Structure 1
Amino acid sequence: MTSRRRIITGHTAEGESRVASDRLVDPLTSPGLPGVEMLYLWGTDEPRTYPDDGEEPRWTQHFPPVGGLRFVTFTLPPAGFEAPEGADSEEAQAHARASFPGLLETYRDDQPGIHTSDTTDVAMVLSGEVVLGTTDGVETVLHAGDTVVQNGTAHSWTNRSDAPVEMLFVLSGARREGDA
Structure 2
Amino acid sequence: MTSRRRIVTGHDHDGRSTVAGDSVVEPRTSPGLPGVEMRYLWGADEPQSYPDGGTEPAWRRHFPPLGGFRFVSFTLPPAGTGEPVSEQASAHAREAFPGLLETYREDEPGMHRSDTTDLAIVLSGEVVLGLDDGSEHVLRAGDTVVQNGTAHSWTNRNTEPAEMLFVLVGARREG
What is the TM-score normalised by the length of structure 2?
0.97
1:137 matched residue in structure 2: 134
2:112 matched residue in structure 1: 115
SS of residue matched to 1:10? strand
2:74 matched residue in structure 1: 74
Within 5 Å, which residues of 2 pair with 1:68-107? 68-81=68-81, 83-84=82-83, 88-107=85-104
AA paired with 1:116?
R
2:65 matched residue in structure 1: 65
Residue 14 of structure 1 deviates from its aligned partner by 1.1
Structure 1 Cα separation of the partners of residues 130 and 52 of structure 2: 40
Q: 2:166 aligns with which of 156, 166, 169?
A: 169
AA paired with 1:130?
V
Structure 2 Cα separation of the partners of residues 96 and 33 of structure 1: 7
Alignment size in residue pairs:
175
Residue 78 of structure 1 deviates from its aligned partner by 1.4
AA paired with 1:12?
D
2:51 matched residue in structure 1: 51
1:14 matched residue in structure 2: 14
Which runs of no fewer than 5 residues in structure 2 stay unpaired? none
SS of residue matched to 1:93? helix
CA RMSD of aligned residues (A): 0.9
2:25 counterpart of 1:28: no
SS of residue matched to 2:74? strand
Which runs of no fewer than 5 residues in structure 1 stay unpaired? none
Residue 91 of structure 1 deviates from its aligned partner by 1.1
Residue 80 of structure 1 deviates from its aligned partner by 3.9
Between the two proteins, what is the percent identity of the paired residues?
A: 73
SS of residue matched to 2:89? helix
Runs of 4+ in 1 over 4 A off after TM superposition: none
Residue 60 of structure 1 deviates from its aligned partner by 0.7
Structure 2 Cα separation of the partners of residues 144 and 79 of structure 1: 18
AA paired with 1:107?
Y
Structure 2 Cα separation of the partners of residues 49 and 30 of structure 1: 34
SS of residue matched to 1:8? strand
